[in-house]
Structure 1
Amino acid sequence: MDYIKVCKKLKLKIILSAMFSKELRELIMLNGVCPDCKEINTGWAWCNKCDPGRFLKEGKTSGNPDFDKLIHEAQLETRDYGDNTEWIPFERLKDIKPIGEGGFATIYSATWLDGIPEYLSKKRRSEPQIVALKKFKNSRIMIGAFTDEIKVHVKCSGCMVQKLYGITKDPKTDEFSMVIMYASDGNLRDYLKKNFSSLKWEEKLQNLWYIIDTLGKIHDINYIHKDLHSGNILMYKPNVDDLSGTMISDLGLSQSIYDSNNSTNVCGVLPYIAPEIFNGKPYTKASDIYSFGIIMVEMSTGKPPYGNISHSDDLALAICVGLRPKVIRGTPKCYIELVNKCLDSDPEKRPSCNELLSVIFKWNLEFINGKTESEIVKEFSNADAIVSREYSSNEITLHPEAIYTSRHMNFRNLPKSRNSLGVQVENSEFSDPNLLENFIYDAVKEQSQDKIEVESTNE
């Protein structure tokens, strides 16, 4: 960018100030100048005084005043040109195909003809880009849920979550969709199923670090995810030759920690829900940590948790009295210990994101620094060898009532959550094949005078 050309667009008083300030000159070169107010942009190619609402001045409207206002408010919180939430005309999206379905929404892939916004010394668009569309089931009815998720996305835009590009509307159905970043490698659950036998612990630890780092950023702004599971962890490659990275998606249930209340109404994927939530306690940062602990187990096994049993009230009951999923043989002891801390029945005893980040970063650092003789690297390398030798097929047969999409559930009269022996190791001398039945038998015997009720609906 030519500094002289840029300065010609500035107000005289700013030019004079820049003559005596190196920092101001660097800021001018970095952010550019707003063509309307002639002042330095507040972010890369973005002026927070002039750019929010520009789409309306240019005659681009959703046709719905509430959504126009929503986009305008999102733009008021925009940091730079690449972070802008746009109104995207539906005709600019081609090759729309369904690629996935959750409890409350259907996901499509599409080609965005205009490309994503980029800023490399000046505003520009990429080549036509593959994006994802998230369309709520009954979106005309679930307007509140749709707008809430948009607002949370805007609040969490600096947290490395799945990027929101904008909003569009299908003129044939009048249904709105979110236009979001496309994950080339699908979700973590499918990625593990496809790649588990060849996936090394070095990459698993790297991905766990990405996940907990992102979750920590969400927690830092006092939000909680509330629906963290492997189906909401998306895998993508920044470049063709890179290892897959991760990003957290589906912020539909996320909320401020100040808005979380006690309730018997539970929403999510049952195996990932912290036991205190079944007892009507509010969602907290610690309940997200429990969900992360279950994801850690899934990284060990390559299989969804509790996949061989029905996800019914019996499973919720067993979790409350201490049942935890199993890890596979060879899983490092240090890893199991960290999982057990995350899955502690007492939320106060679970580690924070920062504590987990510190431990997992140290493990990653051992690999990065090539410390092949360190005990940590040896443990994880031995685990890799066991996976290659004993789990090469990793076939997954799920119980027909094992449900891994989010749903509403209502539990009453479940026993207060408590700890057990922690996670067990598959096919070891310490593993109890009748573990679930024993937990349920003991709990029912203890609670025989109470009735446990569960209602579930997929919406």
Structure 2
Amino acid sequence: METLDKTSKEKQKNSWKYFDSNKYQFHVTISSASSSIDPTITSEEEITSKGVVYMEDLEKRKNVYGICGECNEPGTGKKWCQPCNSKRFKENFQNWTSENKDIDELLQYSQLNAVYYTKLLEWIPYENFQCVTYIDEGGFSKIYSADWPDGHIEYWSIESQKWVRSSNKHVVLKSLNNSSDINIEFLNEIKSQLHIYFWNIISYYGITRDPNTKDYMMVLEYCTDGNLRNYYLSQQPEYNSKIYDLLAIAKGLMNIHNADKVHKNFHSGNILFKNFYPYISDVGMCQPADKEQSLEGVYGVLPYMAPEVLYSHQYTKESDIYSFGVIMNEFISEEIPYKDVPHDSILAEKICNGSRPKIFKGTPKLFEELIMKCWDAKAKNRPTIEELYQTLKKWDDEKLNNDSEIFSQVKEWKQIRENEYKNNSNKNKSKNLNVHSQAFYVSRPLNFQNLSEPINSTDFLSVQSDSEHLEKTSSSWNKKEGSYL
């Protein structure tokens, strides 16, 4: 009998299923976090190629992820058992602390409830990082890159009785200014995202602390190809590739909205590329981390902010759609929005009065119309993210069809762009990088008073041609914070 039991246990060690990532999610979806979401609206592709696996569906979990060799229950993700791993994490709580009760509780909560390693946050001692290098600074944070030799946890090995880690990860350290007394609301924003299935959203690995400044630092996934602007300036992607990239960005935003979340700070600096694929970062991170710094007004990058956000300081899904329109126009035209004017109260008032970024003259009509819909001053008139996704999906499907409207419009656009590059491509690129000294493309606090109620304008493109007037009439310039991204 003892021999049979031993043999049985050995068989259980190999009970994880071969996982098909083209067919199913990497981990289960918690119904309580998504009960209001109708999966049929996430698009046909989302259902067929990334099948949802719900926590309570034991049979499907068994078929998709297999059986845990320790508790004989279905897995909660690829090579992951939440109940068993939770016990391991709990036993280790006594061996670490961030020296902040609220942060400890957040990390412990994530570890006890993690259905997969991407939902896990670790306390990572600062000395575990190497080659820490300063990159840039924003309104409430400083950004560093670093090497993490250990890497993040991937799964528990029953055979070796230890965690298997990714090893040799290049990561980003986001230092939160004045965070020794961290804001509980900031931590709650992170906590609220832990059980939502986000696709192409930047992963958080954990938290560390700068031993010199005593500021806490978020440890994030590093994206090798930079942000959207870095990407189009260095890679010069062709139009069909841009359609696919916009579709992928829309897919990420759709997952955020379908989880009843709002990004709140959606701009080209928060769209990062890794292996030529776009990822969305900083979801919901639009507030200072410290308790003492109260934020009056809003936080973000002015050219991407919807007029109603500037006017009423209210973030909504519709305001994300406005931002998506600005991002789409920038990506297509490769022109930085409002780069030749100060980002001050004059520009904010112009935006509320209906002014919008310039649309490049060769932009396909289909894209121009979609961009303008996203920019409608009446938020209710803007398309939903599902409508945006379906439109971009249709264009992506038809972009190689000679008989399609998108094919003919893209063909015409390519000819216009080729003629431009032949004339003087270097001059055009140099002009694109010539940014006004009071134009800011990092997130910062904004608090404009007495703005007009948002309206549509019959001449909403006028702000670009009216830049000289804006410069002359600007009575005061905001102090620059951070560097150009």
TM-score range, shorter chain: 0.7 to 0.9
Sort the Cα spacing of 1:440 and 1:286 in 2 relative to 1 into closer, same or farther, 3 A.
farther
Alignment size in residue pairs:
413
What amino acid does structure 2 have at the position aligned with 1:360? Answer: L
Q: Does 1:179 align with 2:216?
A: no
Report the Cα offset of residue 162 of structure 1. Answer: 0.4
Report the Cα offset of residue 332 of structure 1. Answer: 0.2
Q: Which runs of 5+ in 1 are unaligned?
A: 11-22, 238-243, 256-262, 425-430, 445-451
Could you tell me which residue of structure 1 aligns to residue 436 of structure 2? Answer: 399
Report the Cα offset of residue 116 of structure 1. Answer: 3.2
What amino acid does structure 1 have at the position aligned with 2:341? Answer: I
Q: Which runs of 5+ in 2 are unaligned?
A: 1-6, 16-57, 288-294
Structure 1 CA distance for aligned equivalents of residues 64 and 366 of structure 2: 49
Structure 2 CA distance for aligned equivalents of residues 228 and 53 of structure 1: 38
Q: What SS does the aligned partner of 1:341 have? A: helix
| Aligned pairs for 1:238-249 within 5 A | 244-249=276-281
Structure 2 CA distance for aligned equivalents of residues 157 and 86 of structure 1: 19
Q: Does 1:316 align with 2:348?
A: yes
2:165 to 109, 125, 149: 125
Could you tell me which residue of structure 1 aligns to residue 65 of structure 2? Answer: 30
Sort the Cα spacing of 1:34 and 1:132 in 2 relative to 1 into closer, same or farther, 3 A.
farther
Contact kept? 2:80, 2:156, Cα under 8 Å: no
TM value normalised by structure 2: 0.76
Report the Cα offset of residue 453 of structure 1. Answer: 10
Structure 2 CA distance for aligned equivalents of residues 112 and 141 of structure 1: 26
The runs of at least 4 aligned residues of structure 1 exceeding 6 Å deviation read 120-123, 437-441, 452-457
Report the Cα offset of residue 434 of structure 1. Answer: 4.1
1:309-342 Cα shifts (integer Å, max 9, x gaps) = 0111110111111111112221100100000000
| Aligned pairs for 1:47-446 within 5 A | 47-52=81-86, 54-55=88-89, 57-58=91-92, 59-64=94-99, 65-118=101-154, 124-144=164-184, 146-156=186-196, 158-195=198-235, 198-237=236-275, 244-253=276-285, 265-280=297-312, 282-367=314-399, 370-391=400-421, 392-393=425-426, 394-395=429-430, 396-421=433-458, 424=461, 434-435=465-466
What amino acid does structure 2 have at the position aligned with 1:388? Answer: E
Could you tell me which residue of structure 2 aligns to residue 7 of structure 1? Answer: 12
Identity of aligned residues (%): 37
Contact kept? 2:301, 2:443, Cα under 8 Å: yes
TM value normalised by structure 1: 0.80
Sort the Cα spacing of 1:85 and 1:225 in 2 relative to 1 into closer, same or farther, 3 A.
same
What amino acid does structure 2 have at the position aligned with 1:400? Answer: S
What amino acid does structure 2 have at the position aligned with 1:339? Answer: I
Sort the Cα spacing of 1:422 and 1:301 in 2 relative to 1 into closer, same or farther, 3 A.
farther
Sort the Cα spacing of 1:31 and 1:398 in 2 relative to 1 into closer, same or farther, 3 A.
same
Structure 2 CA distance for aligned equivalents of residues 454 and 411 of structure 1: 12
Structure 1 CA distance for aligned equivalents of residues 345 and 13 of structure 2: 70
Report the Cα offset of residue 24 of structure 1. Answer: 5.5
Q: What SS does the aligned partner of 1:140 have? A: helix
Report the Cα offset of residue 142 of structure 1. Answer: 4.2
Q: What SS does the aligned partner of 1:279 have? A: helix
Q: CA RMSD in A?
A: 3.3
Sort the Cα spacing of 1:225 and 1:335 in 2 relative to 1 into closer, same or farther, 3 A.
same
Report the Cα offset of residue 303 of structure 1. Answer: 2.4
